[in-house]
């Protein structure tokens, strides 16, 4: 199968880590090309892995309507869609795989320009605003399949649709990296200097409001109020600094 993969950004966060793992597992049996912006760590990782790459305009379009940013984002989505359609024709792609919601919107445009069937990967829940719901309707009405990273994400996408389309497919895991028989667990209690019987909570995610680290902090505070000897470890970094 010939697969054209689309990603709206060349930055790397969880969605791109999952994508790189997926590409490594697919490349031996399928013809793969990735469309993403030219500048950034994802483009560099693809080049290092010798995975064919084609540039598309970066698109950090917000799902919050704005008098300037929204029209600019729409123009970039349309430009990206045109690039995807041309790239799909050149490689005779059988499938267009959008790894992000913004890439999915590019895929919607590409589909209308003759691109092959669109498969969309959902990593996050769309906002429940009218604008977010409009984005969902456009994707649901165009995609041949929508696969979600969790049951919650799939259910939220399907809610209110006349025909549920999103299906939960968990992200792949590198079993060799997380094999408890091969990889010893980190002794964070000793490393952090806390009691071995203390409750240790952890959240691994990029530092951003929609990952809700504030919920984890409030949970810790509530446990402490109940006299639970609990500690919280936040693991992550700020991946995107633009308005979301």
Q: Interhelix angle for 41-48 vs 14-26, to 10°? A: 20
3-state SS, residue 238: coil
Cα–Cα distance measured from residue 207 to residue 199, given in angstroms and rounded to the nearest whole number: 22
For residue 203, what are its two tokens?
């959240």
For residue 5, what are its two tokens?
């993969």
Segment 109-138 shows an average pLDDT of 93
Segment 57-68 shows an average pLDDT of 78
pLDDT at 241: 57
- At 150, phi and psi to the nearest 5? -150, 165
For residue 190, what are its two tokens?
């000793």
pLDDT at 58: 87
Residue of 33, 30, 39 lying closest to 12 (CA atoms): 39
Is beta strand 31-36 parallel, antiparallel or unpaired with respect to 52-55?
parallel
DSSP annotation of 198 reads S
Cα–Cα distance measured from residue 122 to residue 146, given in angstroms and rounded to the nearest whole number: 7
152's CB contacts (< 8 A; 6+ apart) are 125
Residue 213 has pLDDT above 80, yes or no: yes
100's CB contacts (< 8 A; 6+ apart) are 6, 7, 8, 9, 15, 121, 123
Is beta strand 95-98 parallel, antiparallel or unpaired with respect to 52-55?
unpaired
Confidence of residue 244 (pLDDT cuts 50, 70, 90): very low
Is beta strand 2-6 parallel, antiparallel or unpaired with respect to 31-36?
parallel
Q: What angle do CA 95, 205, 56 make, to 5 degrees?
A: 35
Segment 42-66 shows an average pLDDT of 88
170's CB contacts (< 8 A; 6+ apart) are 149, 150
Segment 74-92 shows an average pLDDT of 95
Asked if 26 and 208 touch (Cβ cutoff 8 Å), the reply is no
| Alpha carbon distances (Å) from 224 to 81, 145, 203, 229 | 50, 45, 17, 6
Asked if 134 and 103 touch (Cβ cutoff 8 Å), the reply is no
List pLDDT tens digits, range 133-190. 999 999 999 999 999 999 999 999 999 898 899 999 999 887 777 787 887 777 888 8
Sign of CA dihedral 216, 218, 224, 228: negative
């Amino acid at each position: 199968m010939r697969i054209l993969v689309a990603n709206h950004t060349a930055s790397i966060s969880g969605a791109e880590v999952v994508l790189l793992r997926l590409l490594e597992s697919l490349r031996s049996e399928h013809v793969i090309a990735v469309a993403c912006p030219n500048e950034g760590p994802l483009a560099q990782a693809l080049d290092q892995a010798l995975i064919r790459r084609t540039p598309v305009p970066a698109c950090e379009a917000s799902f919050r309507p704005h008098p300037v940013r929204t029209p600019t984002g729409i123009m970039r989505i349309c430009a990206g869609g045109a690039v995807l359609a041309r790239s799909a024709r050149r490689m005779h792609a059988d499938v267009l795989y959008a790894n992000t919601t913004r890439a999915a919107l590019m895929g919607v445009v590409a589909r209308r320009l003759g691109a092959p069937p669109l498969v969309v990967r959902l990593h996050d829940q769309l906002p429940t605003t009218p604008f977010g719901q409009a984005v969902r309707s456009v994707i649901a009405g165009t995609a041949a399949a929508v696969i979600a990273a969790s049951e919650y994400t799939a259910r939220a996408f399907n809610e209110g649709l006349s025909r549920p389309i999103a299906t939960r497919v968990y992200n792949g895991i590198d079993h060799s990296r997380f094999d408890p028989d091969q990889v010893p667990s980190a002794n964070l209690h000793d490393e952090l200097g806390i009691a071995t019987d203390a409750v240790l909570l952890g959240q691994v995610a990029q530092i951003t409001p929609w990952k809700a680290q504030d919920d984890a902090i409030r949970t810790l505070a509530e446990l402490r109020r109940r006299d639970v000897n609990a500690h919280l470890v936040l693991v992550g970094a700020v991946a995107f600094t633009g308005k979301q």
